[in-house]
């Protein structure tokens, strides 16, 4: 009930501020009113569809509710910005109120809100549902052995297989990753939103991933919402190596000899809240590391692991979690919780690459933060 009440109050605010101002267009006024009424009900129902309904109808409700969430998010933000703009206009013309075209400004700004929200939602939907583009990133590593020059890591993260992301979506991602011919594949968490019993068939394409040294996975926070132990077992069954505060050493032979690359992985930064035995620990992930593996790569779902990773002596951390904000304006708020929103950054001697994610969470909407499959290449500093 609290969720339904909150949804109703937020929708009432948008309706109160926008619908009356569309009086000159009664059809548009009625249409927006109907959209808001439907969204009031579908938005919370879509979030909790599987609690109320089973089978195909659960997915249909989820689709309707999550698309509605994306639309309403833009409607709400634009309505707030419209009210702020109208207030500033009144203040700016306080010395000469007769010069302010109040009626025209009120009407046309109200028209702009649903039009812009619909446009952002349509563009965002297309961006979210297309197969992620490949982003190529060169990371300069000090003292990189010649054999590791050009070593490539294909990173996918935050796919969020669930109500609106199914087998076909992941199959297209796997095909694009395989076409890269990477030396290894890194899956940095938040792969799923749901139980193994519901989603195993949709995650199965991961067994088709191909790379020289194989695929490696670390848990994200959403794995712990969905049954982390069961998912780790399922990924192992699919041939994906799970790294839980541990490491492997890859013996890589290149045109200039051979060299060792240490690949470590830690549990999600918040994993200890769900399972104390999974407390994220980059130092523990290095325990027993051989001295000859001088280049050290860490897979960690959240960028917040970077400080501990830098102290542990890693050279590069690959992360996700942020989605790059996923759609405007939330990209401006990610930095309040995470040290890095997207892209390559340096922390002490550690490089941190934060992917914007390969799928999406919640609304099928990406606006201003496109999804990506990242191809990281190690190059000498």
Whole-number Å distance between alpha carbons of 227 and 242: 15
Q: What confidence score (pLDDT) does residue 49 get?
A: 66
Query: Over the stretch 308-336, which tens digit does the pLDDT of each residue have?
Result: 999 999 999 999 999 999 998 888 888 88
Three-class SS state of 171 = helix
Q: What confidence score (pLDDT) does residue 297 get?
A: 98
- Residues 6 or more apart whose CB falls under 8 angstroms from that of 79 comprise 13, 14, 17, 18, 113
Whole-number Å distance between alpha carbons of 366 and 73: 12
Q: What is the pTM of this model?
A: 0.92
Q: What confidence score (pLDDT) does residue 91 get?
A: 86
Burial of 43 (0-12, 13-18, 19+ CB in 10 A): buried
The pair of structure tokens assigned to 184 is 């290894």
In the chain, residues under CATH classification 3.60.21.10 are 134-380
- Residues 6 or more apart whose CB falls under 8 angstroms from that of 288 comprise none
In contact, 251 and 263? CB cutoff 8 Å: no
Per DSSP (E only), the strands in the chain are 133-141, 152-156, 184-187, 215-217, 241-242, 246-254, 257-265, 295-299, 316-319, 343-347, 350-354, 372-380
> What are the 10-residue block averages of pLDDT along the chain, 381 residues in total?
86 96 94 94 76 73 91 96 93 80 91 97 97 98 94 98 95 98 98 95 98 98 96 98 97 89 97 95 96 95 97 97 92 88 96 98 94 98 92
Whole-number Å distance between alpha carbons of 49 and 217: 29
Strand partners, 295: 261
Class of 134-380 per CATH? alpha beta
Strand partners, 340: none
């Amino acid at each position: 009930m609290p969720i339904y009440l909150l949804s109703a109050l937020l929708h009432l605010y948008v309706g109160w501020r926008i619908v009356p101002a569309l009086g000159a267009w009664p059809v548009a006024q009625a249409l927006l009113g109907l959209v808001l009424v439907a969204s009031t009900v579908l938005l919370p129902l879509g979030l909790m569809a599987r609690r109320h309904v089973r089978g195909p109808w659960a997915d249909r409700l989820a689709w309707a509710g999550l698309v509605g969430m994306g639309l309403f998010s833009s409607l709400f933000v634009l309505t707030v910005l419209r009210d702020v703009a109208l207030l500033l206009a009144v203040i700016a013309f306080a010395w000469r109120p007769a010069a302010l075209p109040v009626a025209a400004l009120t009407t046309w700004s109200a028209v702009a809100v649903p039009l812009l929200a619909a446009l952002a939602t349509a563009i965002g939907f297309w961006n979210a549902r297309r197969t992620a583009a490949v982003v190529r990133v060169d990371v300069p590593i000090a003292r990189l052995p010649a054999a590791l020059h050009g070593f490539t890591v294909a990173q996918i993260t935050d796919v969020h297989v669930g109500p609106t992301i199914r087998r076909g979506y992941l199959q297209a991602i796997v095909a694009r990753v395989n076409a890269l011919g990477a030396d290894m594949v890194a899956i940095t968490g938040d792969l799923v939103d749901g139980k193994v019993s519901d989603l195993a068939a949709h995650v199965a394409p991961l067994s088709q991933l191909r790379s020289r040294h194989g695929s490696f996975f670390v848990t994200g926070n959403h794995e712990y919402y969905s049954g982390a132990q069961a998912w780790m077992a399922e990924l192992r069954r699919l041939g994906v190596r799970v790294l839980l505060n541990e490491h492997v050493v890859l013996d890589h032979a290149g045109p200039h000899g051979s060299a060792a690359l240490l690949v470590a992985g830690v549990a999600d930064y918040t994993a200890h809240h769900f399972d104390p035995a999974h407390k994220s620990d980059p130092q523990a992930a290095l325990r027993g590391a051989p001295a000859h593996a001088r280049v050290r790569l860490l897979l960690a779902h959240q960028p917040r692991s970077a400080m501990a990773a830098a102290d542990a002596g890693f050279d590069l951390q690959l992360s996700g979690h942020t989605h790059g904000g996923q759609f405007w304006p939330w990209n401006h708020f990610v930095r309040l919780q995470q040290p890095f929103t997207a892209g390559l950054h340096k922390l002490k001697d550690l490089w941190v690459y934060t992917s914007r994610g390969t799928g999406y969470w919640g609304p099928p909407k990406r606006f201003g933060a496109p999804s990506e499959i990242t191809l990281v290449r190690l190059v000498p500093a």
